[in-house]
Structure 1
Amino acid sequence: MKKELLKIGYNSKIALQENLSEKVKNKVLNDYFLLIKKNKTKIIISNKKDINFAIKKGIKNNLIERLKLDEKKIDQILFSIKKIIKLKDPCNKVLETWKRPNGLKISRVSIPLGVMGVIYESRPNVTCDVSSLCFKSGNAVILRGGSEAINTNKILSDLFRKSLEKNNINKNYVQFINSKNRGFVDLMLSKMQNYIDVIVPRGGKTLVQKVQKLSKIPVIGHLEGICHTYIDNEANMKIASNIIFNSKMRNTAICGATETFLIHEKISQNNINFIFKKLYDNKCKLIGDTKFKKKFKGKVKLAKNKDWITEYLSPTVSIKTVKNIDEAIIHINKFGTMHTDSIITKNNKKAKIFFTKVKSSIAMHNTSTQFADGGEFGFGGEVGISTNKLPPRGPVGLNQLVSYKYEIKSNGAIRN
């Protein structure tokens, strides 16, 4: 197993030696687009095998929903590839230049990160998004998907490799570990530091914790998405009602779904019932503190401390009453995961305070947290969302998959 993985790592490093133009990269991506389009039926058949396996294995419904690929989801994948093609190649760009009195001419130039190791669960679209983004940004990628999606991931990665071969490019720019053996993950994290430059985990809390604990390689990612939406007493209640519903119920299984709503204590009972009615009517379970429980006319389960640190990933939310914006910010910084947090208010000064004081990698004003997505940011997609304090932060798209180096020229300058 170790020999096999080291060979994969070596192959990635060899592939990186090819210097590809933006035109060539886009040709590969366009051919990949056409191959997916041509093989839709085969992809869906492979996906059905994975779904049947997941059902037999007793995997939760929200994870099966992430795993599922149909015509609509494949069209979304194709749309993402087209967006990535339209984006400018971020590699080998002069980011900044300056001259020094000592005669040095200094340039800061973008370069690829190198070999990306991506460990992910359930979502086959990650195979396409990550392969396309890494290739366009000049990086090689080693993919290790979950056992529940192995058939879908294999056909999608094979199609990318077919596109590379068609264009006479080393197919090992993209490699997929075609094994359900979890030992490969441990080896990737502990024995591949000479071959993999960055690890990106995409999955549940258990997976990310394991990666963060075992990895000897730098990690880009986030542990959980405990996102908050604070409804201020100066909020437009119609806007609040729409955002509350969308930020939770558009897709309850994504990391950008709001898990806790914080409401200003001065919001009236009528307005509280108005803004949470749509959630309640659509079978969302409400878990609230005593103040909210007294004001809301529907069924509310009394919240416990554990609810403020729970990522439900289901039609369930916790709701807490706060005295003011300061208390809301304190709660977010204490219980949040620096993912995405939003404020609903007509007061721009309060919004500015919120932006300045929350520690989130993404802060929003009068906006649904469901927009925490690289595609929505115009990045063409994302390899994940990073809550690290060091960059990159937030959605990691094409322009975040590069580093830089300094290029220095002079006419024979020597230092005194």
Structure 2
Amino acid sequence: MKKFMNLVGIKSRKASAKKITTNTKNKVLNKYAQLLDKEKELILRENAKDIKFAQNKGLKDNLINRLKINDLRLKNIKDSIKKISKLKDPVNVTLKKWKRPNGLNIRRVTIPIGVIGVIFESRPNVTSDVAGLCFKSGNAVILKGGSEALNTNRILAKLFRQALKKNNVDENYIQFIDSKDRKMVDIMLSKMKKYIDVIIPRGGKSLVKRVQEFSNVPIIGHLEGLCHTFVDKDAELNMASKIIYNAKLRNTSICGATETILLHEKIIKKFCNPILKKLQNANCKIYGDRILKKYYKGQLYPAKEKDWSTEYLAATVSVKVVKSSDEAINHINKYGTMHTDSIITKNKKTAIKFLKNVKSSIAMHNTSTQFADGGEFGFGGEVGISTNTLPPRGPVGLEQLVSYKYEISSKGKIRE
């Protein structure tokens, strides 16, 4: 097994050493989009096998829904690849250039990272999105998907390799670990430092935690998405109500869903019932503190300390009343996971203070936290979201999948 994985690593290194023109990259991506169209029936057939396997295994409906590919989802996968093909190539871009008094001409130029290992669960669109983004940014990628989507992932990776081959590009730019064995993941994390430059985990808390604990390869990713929406004393009620409903309930299972609502004490009386009743009417369970209990007329469960640090990923939310924007910022910095946090206010000064002082990788003003997504940022998709303090931070798209080097020239200068 280790021998097999080493061979995968060697092939990736060899592929990544070959430089590919922007024109060829785009030809490959457009060919892949064509193949996704042409082989639609085959993809849907393979996906049906995974759905059947998941149902027999007794997976929950929301997890089965994540696995499903239908005509619309396949169109979205194809559109995402086409978008990536239209984006500017992030490689060989001069970020900065300057001349020194010592006679040196210095340029900082973008380069690919090299080989990226991606370990992911459930959503099969990750296979095509990640393969497309890594390839366009000049990186080879080793994909290890979850066992529940094995057939779908296999065909999506196979079609990408066909697109590479048809354009005379080393098909090992994209490699898929076609196995349900979890030991493959352990080998990627602990025995392949020589071949893999960075690991990106995409999945639930247990997967990401395992990667963080065992990997001796650098990681880009996040453990949890504990997102907050703070309704300030200068917020507008209709806007706050609309944003919170969307931020919590549009899709409860994504990492950008709001999990805690913070309400300024000065608007609690007027705002809590219209905002929270709307959530409750949509079957959202609400945990609230003692102050909220005095004002909210709907059903409320008492919030415990652990609720402030719980990522529900369900129609459940915790609500806290705060005395000021400073208290809101402190609460977010204490309990948040540096993912995405939003303030709703008409007061620009308060908004700026919030945006500058929350530690989040994505800080928002009058915006739903559900926009925490590389596609929505115009990145053509994402390989994940990073909450690391070191860059890259936030959605990791094309421009975040490159490093840089310094290119220096002079007219025969020597250092005195």
- Deviation of 1:94 (Å): 1.5
The corresponding residue for 1:199 is 199
SS in 2 for 1:169: coil
**In structure 2, how many angstroms separate the alpha carbons of the residues matched to 1:75 and 1:269?**
46
Contact 2:268–2:321 (CA under 8 A) maintained in structure 1: no
Pairwise mapping of residues 167-186 of structure 1 onto structure 2 (< 5 A)? 167-186=167-186
The corresponding residue for 2:369 is 369
Contact 2:284–2:317 (CA under 8 A) maintained in structure 1: yes
Deviations 1:70-116 (A, max 9, x none): 11111111121111111010111121111111111111110000000
- Deviation of 1:152 (Å): 0.7
- Name the amino acid aligned to 2:387: T
- Deviation of 1:268 (Å): 4.0
SS in 2 for 1:106: strand
Gaps of 5+ in 1: none
- Deviation of 1:2 (Å): 0.4
- Name the amino acid aligned to 1:271: F
**In structure 2, how many angstroms separate the alpha carbons of the residues matched to 1:58 and 1:154?**
22
**In structure 2, how many angstroms separate the alpha carbons of the residues matched to 1:264 and 1:185?**
46
**In structure 2, how many angstroms separate the alpha carbons of the residues matched to 1:189 and 1:313?**
27
Contact 1:62–1:314 (CA under 8 A) maintained in structure 2: no
Q: For structure 1, which segment, 78-87 or 381-390, has the greater mean C-alpha deviation from structure 2 after superposition?
A: 78-87
RMSD of aligned alpha carbons: 1.0
Pairwise mapping of residues 162-241 of structure 1 onto structure 2 (< 5 A)? 162-241=162-241
Residue 413 in 1 paired to residue 406 in 2? no
Calculate percent identity across the aligned residue pairs. Answer: 64
**In structure 1, how many angstroms separate the alpha carbons of the residues matched to 2:46 and 2:322?**
49
Deviations 1:103-148 (A, max 9, x none): 1111111000000000000011100110000000000000000011
The corresponding residue for 2:122 is 122
Contact 2:268–2:292 (CA under 8 A) maintained in structure 1: no
The corresponding residue for 1:284 is 284
The corresponding residue for 1:296 is 296
- Deviation of 1:309 (Å): 1.0
Q: For structure 1, which segment, 323-332 or 283-292, has the greater mean C-alpha deviation from structure 2 after superposition?
A: 283-292
Pairwise mapping of residues 146-157 of structure 1 onto structure 2 (< 5 A)? 146-157=146-157
Residue 379 in 1 paired to residue 379 in 2? yes
- Name the amino acid aligned to 1:264: H
Gaps of 5+ in 2: none
The corresponding residue for 1:306 is 306
Using the size of structure 1 for normalisation, the TM-score is 0.98
Deviations 1:1-46 (A, max 9, x none): 1011000010011111221111110000001001111222221221
SS in 1 for 2:194: coil
**In structure 1, how many angstroms separate the alpha carbons of the residues matched to 2:39 and 2:370?**
31
**In structure 2, how many angstroms separate the alpha carbons of the residues matched to 1:282 and 1:403?**
45
Contact 1:29–1:85 (CA under 8 A) maintained in structure 2: yes
Deviations 1:171-201 (A, max 9, x none): 0000000000000000000000000000000
Residue 326 in 1 paired to residue 322 in 2? no
The corresponding residue for 2:25 is 25
The corresponding residue for 2:390 is 390
Aligned residues: 416
The corresponding residue for 1:158 is 158
Using the size of structure 2 for normalisation, the TM-score is 0.98
The corresponding residue for 1:94 is 94
- Name the amino acid aligned to 1:254: I
**In structure 1, how many angstroms separate the alpha carbons of the residues matched to 2:231 and 2:317?**
14
**In structure 2, how many angstroms separate the alpha carbons of the residues matched to 1:378 and 1:224?**
23
